[in-house]
Structure 1
């Protein structure tokens, strides 16, 4: 008996090793981790207060351009330390992007589940809202709302949360209808489970991977929208700061002090690139149709 089992054990294929992410994805993970740590520890690692003025060192160049290490990334037109403002801008921009992404996902997923559950008139209304939202230029809507109601951080985050909610609604509706036709959702329904339990405990966990990938793809769009609106002066208002507002104020000193603009601009590019790379990688890992 032992002689018959030995060849089978010897011929068994070795367990496949889990492959590491590609180098660009590793870079994205490291960069995004660094940005999150910077946002959380901004009060600890910032060398100065982001509103502290030093008029004697106005437009001081960064250390790599002949400046001093007292201001490694230089100072702006009011003598404020660019590194300190960059650290707090990262916190503000990530807070806005995370908040808006979660709001959009909650709104879209909820409406998608409502359309899949009630069908009929409710589904037609939700689909009409989806088509209307997809056809409306969001930037024009944001400019109109912010110009009419004024600048408020809560309003700003909620407004950005309305961006791309229709994607989540389409995905949630389609996957919920597909799950409803499968055995596990029908079995739970026949056992007398409430709709909240069916969608919250059974349907949502099975479609969560697709929704997470959609969130990672929408996250960089929110960062760019926030940067664009802040660049136009309709986003984060002084004394608060964000990556977009730093770029907006730095454009006036592009020829004399380009370091004011380059640091936040490079941070925006690398952050959006990192999130996009991670989103594409997660889609390839979690989508069974691409395996």
Structure 2
């Protein structure tokens, strides 16, 4: 890479870091702490759970929150709600994280492909993106899961196709813009392969925009998985997820509302925290807004 190109990239990286280091509002700190707590619960769920998720205590059926040994109460089979909630957080976050990464990789790869080859390749990718955007994803998911059955791998792959067209459009536009700038042209003149140009030079410069897009897709996938599990076509027993717990608890809403309330609060706070954090990142990283 030339000295001029390196000097042009250095201020951009310094500006990126300095914008992130700016004082965060208290609400954003709270969102970040909540998300950190959810990640820690997901990682150490096996160590933090007071009981196995399938352990039943029929003598403590529908125990109210605050009962010694069952701080969030129990369900109709005497299973500890706190233990099942921790496992549900792990499963839902694994599905949402895996699906978000898959969606971002597929969409960004297709966007870069369209930017590189243009012509009929670009038209095909954009037509496929338009088709995906017009497709009612929830109905398609219900049909696929009803026909092929449910499994964790299938659920992650299916959720991974949600929202990829956004990344494709964003990556294509940013890649075309970056290719027209001096640093990409300098790398090409030095004989770099297209894969190196996109992965080592263009991708780092458009990563901030893609990261913000991921923070917008992540809560949508959590809600999508919760909706499928609520309808009985998501995570299947004995495994549990947040949507699975909500769907199970709706039958006891009048007698034991805490069964449904606990996972519902986690879904709301987690999706709200990710959305607020993504909105803050957009304001920090987008120079046109500042």
Residue 19 (structure 1) shift: 4.2
- Where does residue 284 of structure 1 map in the other structure? 283
Is 1:23 the counterpart of 2:26 in the alignment? yes
For 1:170 and 1:288, locate their aligned partners in 2 and report how far apart those are by CA, in whole Å. Answer: 20
1:60 to 50, 63, 68: 63
Mapping of residues 57-206 of structure 1, within 5 Å: 57-63=60-66, 68-206=67-205
Moved more, 86-95 or 21-30: 21-30
Greater than 6 Å deviation, 4+ residue runs: none
The superposition leaves residues 155-202 of structure 1 with CA deviations (integer Å, 9 ceiling, x where unpaired) of 100000000000000000000000111111111111110011000000
- TM-score, structure 2 as length reference: 0.92
Secondary structure of 2:69's match?
coil
- TM-score, structure 1 as length reference: 0.92
- Where does residue 4 of structure 1 map in the other structure? none
Question: Which entry has the higher C-alpha Rg, 1 or 2?
Answer: 1
For 1:74 and 1:148, locate their aligned partners in 2 and report how far apart those are by CA, in whole Å. Answer: 36
- Where does residue 32 of structure 1 map in the other structure? 35
Residue 55 (structure 1) shift: 1.1
Q: What's the RMSD between the two structures over aligned residues?
A: 1.0
Residue 152 (structure 1) shift: 1.3
Secondary structure of 1:151's match?
coil
For 2:185 and 2:212, locate their aligned partners in 1 and report how far apart those are by CA, in whole Å. Answer: 27
Gaps of 5+ in 1: 1-17
Is 1:51 the counterpart of 2:50 in the alignment? no
For 1:118 and 1:240, locate their aligned partners in 2 and report how far apart those are by CA, in whole Å. Answer: 45
- Where does residue 247 of structure 1 map in the other structure? 246
Secondary structure of 1:289's match?
coil
For 2:91 and 2:81, locate their aligned partners in 1 and report how far apart those are by CA, in whole Å. Answer: 15
Residue 20 (structure 1) shift: 2.2
For 1:250 and 1:138, locate their aligned partners in 2 and report how far apart those are by CA, in whole Å. Answer: 26
For 1:120 and 1:144, locate their aligned partners in 2 and report how far apart those are by CA, in whole Å. Answer: 34
